[in-house]
Chain A
């Protein structure tokens, strides 16, 4: 199997962008990634586009607007992990020798408010069971019932990520908040208040992947930034039985031993990359809601089961700590454009590994992990190294 590198990254800021279409935003992100990689028209052999709400042929529209079609273009939907799924497909194809250079993009323009999902049957909507934040709240309540996590910890995750997001020009929210602000915001579903939930929004991100050592660059292009190795890109779905799984079933078993999809993906990613959680220097993880970040600590093996509150309290996961989590500000600061969120994480981590993250730089970062999980269920874990 061939090693895979990230040769270039590009991003369109996450936020609300009025009349800008998914095509407009995708073009910005793809142009940025191609320019960094020194790749032009005809310089890549396939493209994979992650999107959940983009509609038919989103990737074709973006690449068509650039006059760069003819190669296979595949749209990939895997909920919050759509970008991870696109990365998995692209990197596997390069590793296997099918392609040398591939464009991977994620784009989204989400409706406002509670996300309406075609995942639910009409009767579930009619019965009030398509209440996505309520499932998040039940997961948070179970975490609180089975560990030392309190509502103050949920607020502290928001305070941490919003503080870190101040330094990210691509984030939607760039103002610090206090725990009092968070706990004083509207109660959505006990124990989750409005500011503990990320905002669905709009944005795009892209990377150019390349077989390590292949030139790929067009003649005359500069050397470009030092490549970052894509050491693993793994996608997993859920196992049956867990009633609060991101697969949002209507019932599950009285069985707390079902391994969650994040853990399934992480185990394989660590093995592929030849690293363990103790080797990580920086992590971007799914913080759709504040409790989801703490659950991710446990599911990714960043701490022992039940010890997420202790890890947060220790300061380890804040910038300046042993293992900063969500230095970009996370989805709580950036907002969540589903198809773009995983690639947004990868863009942040590549900047971290290159030492280009400015005020939010994790000094000396060499091993980084990106994590997304959501509807499907789908969980994506990506490991990047330099």
Chain B
């Protein structure tokens, strides 16, 4: 089950549930009823599937508050062709094995198993070999 409803679709292929504003033409994530950039209420839901390019990255080496999954894990920002920079987990936990600008594909990854035995899932980015389309 997704860590929160309304963030992503599992697929395959997976996709982020984003908003696109008819007023300012910007995308945002997660989808909001009001555009966070221009305050217009003309937001449509769109699916963003990537691939994108890695913009900046690091790795988390100690579990942050409230996190029950494995460490270390990758953490970074990926630029999507729609003009959006998205913060997310990276499947690669060794920063030296990633370089800014490289193609990244969207993935859905397990976080942990909850009290009722269900696998909790979230979105993440994985190194890929598919070049993103130009903006």
List 6 other contacts, CB 8 Å, given A127-B89, A130-B64. Answer: A115-B65, A128-B63, A131-B60, A131-B67, A243-B77, A254-B85
Which chain A residues have a beta carbon within 8 Å of chain B's beta carbons? Answer: 114-116, 120-123, 125-134, 137-138, 141-142, 145, 186-191, 240-241, 243-244, 249-254
Would B64 and A128 count as touching, CB distance under 8 A?
yes
Interface centre among B58, B84, B86, by most chain A C-beta atoms within 10 angstroms, is B58
Contact with A along B1-39 (1 / 0, CB 8 A): 001100100000000001000000011111000001100
* B:60-114 near A, CB below 8 Å: 60-69, 73, 75-77, 79, 83-89, 95, 100, 111-112
Contact with A along B35-56 (1 / 0, CB 8 A): 0110000000000000000001
Would B68 and A126 count as touching, CB distance under 8 A?
yes
Interface residues on B, range: 35 or more
Would B87 and A241 count as touching, CB distance under 8 A?
no
Residue of B whose beta carbon sits closest to that of A122: B66
Residue of A whose beta carbon sits closest to that of B96: A190
Q: How far is the CA of A138 from the CA of B98 in the complex (A)?
A: 14
Query: How close is A117's CB to chain B, nearest CB, in angstroms?
Result: 8
Interface centre among A130, A190, A244, by most chain B C-beta atoms within 10 angstroms, is A190
Q: How far is the CA of A377 from the CA of B95 in the complex (A)?
A: 27
The interface residues of chain B lying within 8 Å CB-to-CB of A116 are 65-66
Q: How far is the CA of A100 from the CA of B88 in the complex (A)?
A: 50
Q: 5 tightest A-B contacts by CB?
A: A125-B66, A116-B65, A123-B4, A251-B29, A137-B58
The interface residues of chain B lying within 8 Å CB-to-CB of A250 are 29-30, 86-87
Residue of B whose beta carbon sits closest to that of A139: B56
The interface residues of chain A lying within 8 Å CB-to-CB of B95 are 190
The interface residues of chain A lying within 8 Å CB-to-CB of B62 are 114, 188
Query: How close is A153's CB to chain B, nearest CB, in angstroms?
Result: 17
Query: How close is B123's CB to chain A, nearest CB, in angstroms?
Result: 8
Given A243-B87, A254-B83, A254-B85, decide whether A134 and B65 contact each other with a Cβ distance below 8 A.
no
Q: How far is the CA of A374 from the CA of B106 in the complex (A)?
A: 30
Query: How close is B111's CB to chain A, nearest CB, in angstroms?
Result: 6
Would B87 and A189 count as touching, CB distance under 8 A?
no
Query: How close is A120's CB to chain B, nearest CB, in angstroms?
Result: 8
Query: How close is B34's CB to chain A, nearest CB, in angstroms?
Result: 11
Residue of A whose beta carbon sits closest to that of B63: A128
Would B64 and A252 count as touching, CB distance under 8 A?
no
The interface residues of chain B lying within 8 Å CB-to-CB of A145 are 56, 100
The interface residues of chain A lying within 8 Å CB-to-CB of B3 are 123, 126-127
The interface residues of chain B lying within 8 Å CB-to-CB of A190 are 58-59, 95
Residue of B whose beta carbon sits closest to that of A189: B58
The interface residues of chain A lying within 8 Å CB-to-CB of B26 are 253
The interface residues of chain A lying within 8 Å CB-to-CB of B63 are 128
The interface residues of chain A lying within 8 Å CB-to-CB of B27 are 251
The interface residues of chain A lying within 8 Å CB-to-CB of B69 are 128
Interface centre among A130, A131, A133, by most chain B C-beta atoms within 10 angstroms, is A131
Query: How close is A166's CB to chain B, nearest CB, in angstroms?
Result: 29
Q: How far is the CA of A190 from the CA of B28 in the complex (A)?
A: 27
Would B122 and A127 count as touching, CB distance under 8 A?
yes
The interface residues of chain A lying within 8 Å CB-to-CB of B73 are 128
Would B75 and A138 count as touching, CB distance under 8 A?
yes
Would B111 and A244 count as touching, CB distance under 8 A?
no
Would A188 and B61 count as touching, CB distance under 8 A?
yes
Interface centre among A116, A128, A145, A253, by most chain B C-beta atoms within 10 angstroms, is A128
Partner of B61, one of A129, A141, A189, A240: A189
A-B contact pairs, 18 of them (CB 8 A): A114-B62, A121-B4, A125-B64, A127-B67, A128-B60, A128-B63, A128-B89, A130-B64, A130-B66, A134-B58, A138-B57, A138-B76, A243-B86, A251-B30, A251-B85, A252-B85, A253-B26, A253-B83
Query: How close is B77's CB to chain A, nearest CB, in angstroms?
Result: 6
Given A128-B60, A138-B57, A249-B87, decide whether A240 and B36 contact each other with a Cβ distance below 8 A.
yes
Would A125 and B89 count as touching, CB distance under 8 A?
no
Would A129 and B85 count as touching, CB distance under 8 A?
no
Q: How far is the CA of A298 from the CA of B135 in the complex (A)?
A: 30
Would A126 and B84 count as touching, CB distance under 8 A?
no
The interface residues of chain B lying within 8 Å CB-to-CB of A129 are 87-89
Given A127-B111, A128-B89, A252-B85, decide whether A189 and B67 contact each other with a Cβ distance below 8 A.
no
The interface residues of chain B lying within 8 Å CB-to-CB of A253 are 26, 37, 83-85
Q: How far is the CA of A240 from the CA of B36 in the complex (A)?
A: 7
The interface residues of chain A lying within 8 Å CB-to-CB of B88 are 129
Partner of B120, one of A120, A126, A130: A126
The interface residues of chain B lying within 8 Å CB-to-CB of A120 are 66
Q: How far is the CA of A145 from the CA of B95 in the complex (A)?
A: 14
The interface residues of chain A lying within 8 Å CB-to-CB of B4 are 121, 123
Would B64 and A126 count as touching, CB distance under 8 A?
no
